[in-house]
Structures are given as structure tokens and as C-alpha cells.
Structure 1
Amino acid sequence: MEHQKNERILEIFFRALKGEKISPKKLSEEYHVSTKSISRDVTEIQSFLTEHRELMQNAELTYSHRDKSYILTNDEFLKNKELFAIIEVLLGSRCFSKHEILNLISKLKNFSTIENRTSFDNLIRKEVYHYNEVKMDCHSLIDNLWRIVQAIEDKHIITISYFKMDRSEIKRKIKPLAIMFSEYYFYLIAYQEDDETFSPRYFRIDRIFSITENRNRFILAPEYDFDEGSLREKSQFMFPGEGIKVVFEFTGLSVQAILDRLPTAKITSKEGRTYTIEADVNNGRGLMMYLLSQGAWVKVLSPQSFVDEMKTEIEKMKRLYGEV
């Protein structure tokens, strides 16, 4: 008898943890016991939660008069607004396959209450239905990410098979350094095994279709250690390049959008609607693509080498439209 009671208490506790509403009336019918017995079970669970408050992260089994049930609340449960914010970012990234995104959403929802899950499903149903993943070559982006993370942690040299932008296949033996996310894609940043110049190489992780871990480990001297925080600050476009200080004028609608896009950017002067901005950035192809996307709102002032690159690119664009 005592064994059955203990099993029942554990079952009720587990059901509460899963977000189920604990109704003494319904449970008494299900377990064929009195409502008083269920109420005593609830009291024992409440006592356990009180005695182990720190272990259970301040969880409480409280009575809802509206639902006529007990509901488990926990500091670690995600509120709907928090869950919504996280999943909107995931959906907007489009970096995971539909199967992976559905699996992630399902697991995240387990950190919310059943009541909130229903409300939340209504908020994102259409977005999930119309979700379009970016095209990827790997079987599972999440599996790729985790294998690379482990190689980075263990400092294992790995061999990857990879599709380049032109869809040609290459194989590279590399020293994995860091993973970064930027605009729909995760990137692996690595040194090639035999590169004595220690020039970072960027690989889109969704284009890696094979990863082989080598037995050899690598050690980097402190001066060649990689700082992904600094890279994120100075390179928003995942194109490698030398660091430069670029100065340009901006006359567009939202200067704040420029400042947000280039974290190191600062306004040095303003005259009418013209802002002069300088930023420490990596002079890769991505920077040029971004500034050109602003059209006539941007005029690069320095360095002269970058001004010349912009002029050359603009001339090429003009020729596409039959102008010299």
C-alpha cells in the first residue's frame, strides 16, 4: 500500500514537472482514491519543494482557483515573451532545417507551462508553416556544429570536405579555432595545418559535408590565439581582410542602422544631413558590398586604396548598364 502511494506521488510530481495541471478531482478518479488522498500527496510534494528550494530552483506547486488545479511554477520556466523572443530569432535566422527547427521549438516549449504553450503555438503557427530553410549541403547542421565544437575544445586537427561558392569540392586539413554566426550562416574559422602565416580561413559550416577527426592535436603560441570577439566587432561580413580605418560620409535615412551594423563606427562630425563616420573594420569584400548597398547615401573618403577599390567596382557596375 505504501509502495503504491509513493509511486502515485512520484507520478503526480513528474506530471507537474511536465506542465500538467494537477486536479485532485480528476486524479482521484484516475487513481481510484479519495480527493483527500490526492490532496495529501500534493502536500507532500509541496513540503519536498520547500525543503529543497535551492535544488528545485524555487519551484512551487500553487493552487489556481480559476483552473481548480495545482500548477508547478519555476524560476527556470521561460515566460511566453522570453520564449517568443528566442524562437523569433531562430526562425529569422533560417539556418536550421525544418526538421531541426521544429525539434528545437518543441524542446524549448518544454521550459514553459502547458497553458503558455497553447498560447505560444497560436503566435508562431503561420511562421513555422511558411518557414524556408537556407539550402545546405550537410546532413545535419547541429551535428556538424557539435563535432566542430568538440574538435575546438580538444584542439584536434580535422579534415573537412567542403563545397566552395562555385560548387567545386575541396578537402582541407585544418586547425579549428572558433565558430561564429552571421546572416543565415554559421562559420568555422580555422588555420590550415601547413600555413605558417597563420591566416584565418572561413568555412560555412552548412557546406561541410564530411568531417574527419585526426589523432594529432595542435598547440598555438599566444600571439596566434584567435579572438572571435574582436573579429565580430571589426568584421560583420565573414570575408577575411586586413584591418583598416575607413572614413565615409552618410546622407541616408537612418544613421543608427549604420552604427548598429558596424560596432566600431562612430560619428566624427555632422553638417546638415551629412554624417562623417569612421570605423575600424576588416577590409574584406563584405565591407565593400555593404557600403555599395547604401547607394548614393555613402561616399568613402579614406583610405585612398579603398576609395580606388570602390571607384573600380562602380565603374564595373556602370559598364553592366552600357555606360563607360
Structure 2
Amino acid sequence: MSTIAPIAAARSASRSSLPRVGVLLVNLGTPDTADAPGVRVYLREFLSDARVIEDQGLVWQLVLNGIILRRRPRTKALDYQKIWNNERNESPLKTITRAQGDKLAAALSDRDHVVVDWAMRYGNPSIKSGIDALIAKGCDRILAVPLYPQYSASTSATVCDEVFRVLARLRAQPTLRVTPPYYQDEAYIEALAISIETHLATLPFEPELIVASFHGMPKSYVDKGDPYQSHCVATTEALRRRLGMDVTKLLLTFQSRFGNDEWLQPYTDKTMERLAKEGVRRIAVVTPGFSADCLETLEEIAQENAEIFKHNGGEQFSAIPCLNDSDPGMDVIRTLVLRELQGWI
């Protein structure tokens, strides 16, 4: 009688009984609905995070609850409606992050003890729900993957804060790892370059220059030691080297400023206005700090900043898509995850 079948069955049973390793992709977040109530819930959670707005004192609470949450949800809801995925009734960020999770799971499907899930720092699905789901599937080790190439306390660190808060409530905690920022990782820079070159090849015009627009932050945060600005500079310099461009052909700017404080400069919107007034007629914009297209790329850049550029004399404007769940984008995520899972799988 052959012993091959029993041995194979025993090995299969052994593999299935192994503790599982969970991978949790985490992005910033999104409202559940593209209306004022949905945006209000999202903004309340986001702007109540001391990593985002460091001074959560009485004055800020009065401004937040008395002004911002009364007025801003209506206007931001209109912006979300411009880009909303009506078929799924969700934001593009949620659609893309789900796709990234699904494709990573497929790429790791030959490792039957690895489980992939995804979550949002603010909104749903929450980090808690993601961790709970992984634990329920038998994961005793979890790799958290903040999908932010450049580190900042208001993005990467707040993901860790929330993960630690969830684990702090557990008696039996899974072992935790967190992927590092990948702002000048070779795979990331190569993927950005490929995405730019591929997109430019489809355009009916040749841009005179490219603007690399990163999400901004108050200058005071950097002054206190946040490395975010230096990471953005490093990404841009690496991308210039890869594309063979200098500072006149690939510009670095910062977008999405909020409030009256000084933020990192140069500002993207002011740069669009200046370039057009100086005679630049054709530009493309890439957003290397965003791993997935969202309100800040699809509405603020592709629509609002395009209008600023054209209103001031610009003629042709193109927003380069984020890496999203493209093949180059998934290469980055897969490379990062497999590197950090060494010793676990």
C-alpha cells in the first residue's frame, strides 16, 4: 500500500494547522456617504486626532464644532460627489484600497498561512475591524502596512497609534510588525517613473515640465522634528535622477493647506498660477505621496488646480494617476510586504 497519500494528507493538515500571519493594508480614510452627514462624521474623527491637529484645546474645539463641522461638510460633500464611485456607492479611495488588498492576497495565495485584509485610519472599514477579522482567522502575527511612502506623524504614526490602541484592549495580543516608510525605495521610484513615462506617452501634447505635488502640513510640525518634508525632497530628487530631469523640469510643491498657519511651501495652487502667468502652457502633475487616487488627487489636483492653471493662461493640463492597483503599484506593495515578512513566512 502506498504511503504517499497519507504523507501528503499529513503535510496538508500540518500546514492548515499552522498559526496564520495577517497583513493589514491601511490608508487614510473616507466618508461612508457623499453627503453632509457622512462627511461630518468623517471630519469629526479626522480633525479630532491630536496627530492631525496638535492643539486640541478649547479654542480648537469651539472652532471645530461651532464653525468647521457646521459649514465644511456641505462644501466637501459636493467635492466628493464629483468623484464618487456611484456604482459601488463609495469613494475611489475605498474602491482602490480594496483592489490593492485583493491583488496582494492573490499574489500571496501560494502561501496558505498568509491572510490579507485592508482598513482605513478614519471611517470604515476601521483598523479595529481589520485586526479583529485577522485574529478571527487565526492570525497570531500581524504586519501593519501604512500606505504612505513618506513618513509623517499625522499619517504613519497615527496608524500605529490606532493599532496599538486596539491591541491594548486585548489580553491575547498578536505579535506586531509595521512596515517602514518607502520614500526612496528603488521599487517605489521605479514604479513612479514607469507610471509617469506610460502616462506621458498617451498624451496628445508634451508637457513643458512636471509638478510633483505632495500633501502639505503646517511648517511648525517640521520645525518640531517631523521628517516628512525631507522624505518628500528625497523622493523628488530620486525621481529626478531616474527620469533624467533637473529642478526646472520636475518641481516639488505642497497642496491641501488648511487654516491660517504657514504650511510647507511652495504651495501647489500658487505654483499653478505662477507658472501660467510666466508663460508655461503645458504641464503634467504627479502626486507621489498618495498610494491611491482620492479627493486630493481626483478633485483638488485634476479639477481645481487644472482650473487655476487654465484660468491664468495655461492651456493643457494632465493629472498623472497614482500607482493605485496597477502592476507597478502592486510590485511596490508586494516587495515591501515580502521584505518585512522575512522570518515569518
Q: TM-score range by the shorter chain?
A: under 0.3
Larger fraction in strand: 1
Question: Highest Rg: 1 or 2?
Answer: 1
TM-score (norm 2): 0.22
